[in-house]
């Protein structure tokens, strides 16, 4: 529960941590399991997160993690293509999967009576997806069409999550196109897919979470029944993807024939969100101070006063979620401007507002307002059983702490004004990468 300060008050915001019951077990094959009962509604969520994402792709195989996610829906050891879909939908459930920088996840949200069906479905494709030439060729075509729709033929397609990394980073793992180059996708083979599955989809490289309306003891029996016989394999060693910070500004620009207005994104490296969470959280709060709501600093200055922007946003994490990434990651400031506004004007205004915050400080009332909004947002996000389950799998996998989902709202209220000011001061021009979008194909 949030106890907010009165408007204009300097009284700190207090948020009690939410305690979600969590029990754990590890199967003989290495699969880690999180069981989180919640009997408030007759639904259950099953989420399976594999410790493999875009950064794990080898050179020459850009887009492979996402392509493989598609292949995991093309049938499995005991199920033909589309059977997974039919079993979930016939039960009144929903399902999906997604690929991220550091993990790939799959889920089902089902009526609680269908828990065993969801576990069987996930276990069956962990045991072995149907990796055939037909399925591979079909899904390469599907992914290429997705790229055409979402990137090549869409205004601001791939901006900034595909455009910033090659400017901000130097290594292939951090900088390459996670959607994939057509030539790389087209050269993928069934043997490549089989090797990727054998290496990264081992039970010991995954976390299974079950949350919702179920009995823990019975849930543990069902998990063992369906996942326990899957043969264990060696857990892949995850590389350290860290690389040196920038020491001078880097800028690139490109023409977007579909974009109606210019846009700009600037990125700065931030502390390790896992190893240095207490140093990372001030940047999350800073993003809200700068752009959360009409009264925020950059919205007020750039949108309302100077009219340099039609929209401005600040956030941590290249794919937009600040808490599901490992090091290295970044804080991003993203601006869409009216025609004729120069990028240098946008950047100098951004710098002046950061300097003003670093020099004049942050009032307790402003900080309290932002912390109350951010804590409320995190509480709302954790309330639905599905989003909570997905967060638990990632937090358990990356930090060994599924319970963090209930602690984050309190932790953001413990960030101090001095920490936010120090974060603003660290966003110096010599540490940033900038990408400019020129509209209508004009440079």
pLDDT tens digits along 153-180: 999 999 999 999 999 999 999 999 999 9
In this prediction, residue 15 carries a pLDDT of 87
The 3 state secondary structure assigned to 406-432 is: HHHHHHHHCCCHHHHHHHHHHCCHHHE
Instruction: Compute the 3-state secondary structure of the chain and give helix, strand, coil in percent, each to the nearest 5.
Output: 45, 20, 40
Q: Is the pLDDT of residue 3 over 50?
A: no
pLDDT at 332: 98
Confidence band of 1 (pLDDT split at 50, 70, 90): very low
- State yes or no: pLDDT of 5 exceeds 70: no
- Asked if residue 133 has pLDDT above 80, the reply is yes
pLDDT at 10: 64
Is the pLDDT at 243 greater than 70, yes or no? Answer: yes
Percentage above 90 pLDDT, the chain: 94
Residue 442's pLDDT band (boundaries 50, 70, 90)? low
Q: Decide: 105 and 47 in contact? Cβ < 8 Å.
A: yes
> Per-residue confidence at 9, pLDDT binned at 50, 70, 90?
low
Q: Map out the domains of the chain with their CATH numbers.
A: 17-227 (3.30.830.10), 244-439 (3.30.830.10)
Q: What pLDDT band is residue 320 in, cutting at 50, 70 and 90?
A: confident
Nearest CA to 280 out of 98, 404, 406, 396 is that of 404
Q: What is the reported pLDDT for 443?
A: 53
Bridging pattern class, strands 250-256 and 311-316? unpaired
For residues 198 and 62, what is the distance between their CA atoms, to the nearest angstrom? Answer: 18
pLDDT tens digit sequence for 24-51: 999 999 999 999 999 999 999 999 999 9
User: Cβ of 260: how many Cβ atoms within 10 Å?
Assistant: 12
pLDDT at 13: 81
Q: Are the CB atoms for 434 and 250 separated by under 8 Å?
A: yes
* pLDDT, averaged across the chain: 95
d(CA 186, CA 182): 6
- In percent, the amount of the chain with pLDDT more than 70 equals 97
């Amino acid at each position: 529960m949030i106890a907010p300060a009165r408007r204009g008050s300097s009284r700190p915001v207090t948020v009690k941590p939410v305690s979600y019951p969590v029990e754990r077990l590890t199967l003989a094959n290495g699969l880690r399991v999180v069981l989180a009962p919640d009997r408030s509604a007759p639904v259950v969520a099953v989420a399976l997160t594999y410790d493999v994402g875009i950064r794990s792709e080898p050179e020459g195989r850009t887009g492979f993690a996402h392509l493989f996610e598609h292949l995991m829906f093309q049938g499995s050891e005991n199920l033909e293509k589309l059977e997974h879909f039919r079993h979930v939908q016939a039960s009144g459930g929903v399902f999906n999967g997604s690929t991220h920088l550091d993990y790939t996840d799959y889920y089902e949200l089902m009526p609680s009576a269908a828990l065993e069906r969801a576990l069987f479905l996930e276990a069956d494709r962990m045991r072995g997806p149907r990796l055939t030439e037909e399925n591979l060729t079909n899904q390469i075509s599907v992914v290429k069409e997705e790229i055409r729709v979402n990137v090549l033929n869409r205004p601001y397609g791939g901006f900034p999550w595909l455009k910033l990394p090659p400017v901000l980073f130097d290594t292939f793992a951090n900088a390459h196109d996670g959607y994939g180059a057509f030539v790389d996708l087209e050269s993928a083979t069934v043997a490549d897919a089989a090797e990727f599955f054998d290496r990264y989809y081992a039970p010991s490289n995954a976390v299974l979470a079950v949350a919702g309306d179920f009995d823990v003891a019975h849930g543990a029996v069902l998990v063992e029944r369906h996942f326990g016989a899957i043969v264990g394999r060696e857990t892949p060693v995850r590389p350290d993807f860290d690389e040196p910070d920038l020491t001078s500004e880097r800028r690139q620009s490109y023409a977007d024939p579909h974009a109606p207005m210019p846009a700009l994104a600037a990125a700065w490296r931030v502390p390790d969100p896992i190893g240095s969470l207490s140093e990372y959280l001030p940047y999350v709060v800073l993003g809200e101070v700068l752009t959360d709501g009409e009264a925020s600093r950059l919205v007020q200055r750039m949108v309302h006063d100077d009219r340099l922007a039609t929209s401005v946003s600040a956030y941590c994490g290249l794919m937009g979620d600040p808490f599901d990434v490992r090091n290295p990651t970044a804080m991003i400031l993203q601006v869409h401007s009216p025609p004729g506004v120069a990028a240098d004007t946008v950047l100098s205004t951004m710098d002046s507002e950061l300097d003003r915050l670093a020099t004049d400080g942050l009032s307790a009332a402003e900080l309290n307002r932002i912390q109350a909004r951010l804590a409320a947002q995190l509480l709302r996000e954790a309330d639905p059983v599905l989003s909570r389950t997905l967060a638990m799998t990632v937090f358990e996998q990356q930090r060994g702490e599924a319970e963090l989902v209930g602690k984050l709202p309190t932790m953001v209220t413990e960030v101090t004004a001095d920490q936010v000011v120090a974060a603003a001061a660290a966003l110096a021009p010599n540490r940033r990468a900038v990408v400019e979008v020129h509209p209508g194909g004009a440079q």
